[in-house]
Amino acid sequence: MSSNNSSLLLKNIRLIDAGQNRDEKNLDILLRDGKVAEIASDISFAADQVIDLNGAWVMPGAIDLHVHLREPGFEYKETILSGARAAVAGGFTSIACMANTRPVNDSAAVTRFILEQARSAPAKVLPIAAISKGMDGEELVEMGDLSAAGAVAFSDDGKTVVNSKLLRHALEYASLFNKPLLCHCQDNALFADGVIHEGLISAAHGLPGIPTLAEDIDIARSIMLAEYLKVPIHICHLSTAEGVRLVRSAKARGVKVTAEATPHHLFLDERAVVDLACGEVLDDSLKPDQLRYNTVTKMSPPLRSTMDVRALREALADGTIDAIATDHAPHEATEKAVEYELAPFGVIGLETAVALGLRLIKEKVLTPLELTARLSLAPAEILGLADRGSLAVGMAADLMIINPELEWTVDPEKFHSKACNTPFAGWRMQGRVVKTIVDGKVVFNL
């Protein structure tokens, strides 16, 4: 996105920015020509536009490492434009989009198409290219060509690279081009036909389970390869306590590993799969015909146990988990309105993630500064976005403005996304993004 060649002065803000280690009230911030120009207690510059924010929170724009925009090929689910509109409505100013489109983003031509389609989008769209051609795990893509075309990272997303030799070469080449490899860690044989976490609910109600081992084995393999090669690796949507232990241990050894967690894995566990019509407390003695299974809780990896959720929260707090990413995966309503086993994996998250992050502050899992680190600073560092993730002078004027007291109810019918498949419908929230600014231009107003 280009500079808007104008100036905007935001007065009376609370600046919260991990990149500067600043959490300060009663400040002004001046945005000029798409950049942060000045931060001070009383700026008198005659800006083109002045907004008094009356103490609202100003944070760097959130950066999502893991989004499915569905275009090209699945525009009935989401488009680049609708996904970007959802992003800015949720406070995200940059979104990295996965390669599982049709055709797969495995060529410079597809990468250029995505960037061209994104020219009119309100958020900055960052293409992630496939690791292997067609995402079939057999032949590496031309990483040099894709990097030159604008790919910011490489991932085969849900199609795990089974061939360890191919994954080794992918790590080596990605490192040469200074691009991260984002790994969806999953042993396909153990994953098999599973639809939910192998545990309490799968055993009680006869749904095929996905063991934590299916994720943990592949996390271990990925970390071992990165450690052997001395190159970076990023673990997508970490969901298990053992995965947390593996990442924490690797970091302690100096392995260049980073990890993300999703809001749904931080707030929901396997019990959310069971939706009780009369709202009783979950009782394992209830018969299957007394239950219905809510397909908006079907995602990969699945919602795990309460123990796993606790481990994820502890890891997010201590920095073992570097980033919060949504894994925004839109589907048409009719695709989810089927039996649980037949429904596609995936939920949306762009318009609820920041509000859930604010809830983590309220629950004392994170401080406001730590939230900006997980939503903005760390994702920018992982993707090598030197001009984003912080609001220091000279950085891109990408930011979100939050009213921390505003109460609202999640209503997917009011989403900007084309999809409604959120597990958080009906949740009461406190704190909401009220404005989003990209390159110094207001692109979203509540």
Q: Catalytic residue numbers? A: 327
- Rounded to the nearest angstrom, the gap between the alpha carbon of residue 442 and the centroid of all alpha carbons in its chain is 22
CB of 225 within 8 A of CB of 169?
no
CA–CA separation, 251 and 28 (whole Å): 38
Q: How many CA atoms lie within 13 A of 213 on its CB side?
A: 7
Q: Are 240 and 246 in contact (CB under 8 A)?
A: no
DSSP 8-state class, residue 374: I
C-alpha torsion 155→158→159→162, nearest 10:
80
Strand-pair category, 209-210 with 196-197: parallel
Smallest Cα–Cα separation from 90: which of 301, 351, 414, 370?
A: 351
Amino acid at 361: I
Cis peptide before 344 (omega within 30 of 0): no
- Residue where the block lists tokens 């006869």: 206
Question: Token pair of 150, please?
Answer: 């604008």
Question: In this structure, what DSSP letter does residue 107 have?
Answer: S
Instruction: Give bridge partners of residue 124 from the DSSP assignment.
Output: 94
d(CA 91, CA 426): 20
Structure tokens at 366: 């994170």
- What is the residue type of 120? S
How many whole angstroms separate alpha carbon 252 and alpha carbon 236? 19
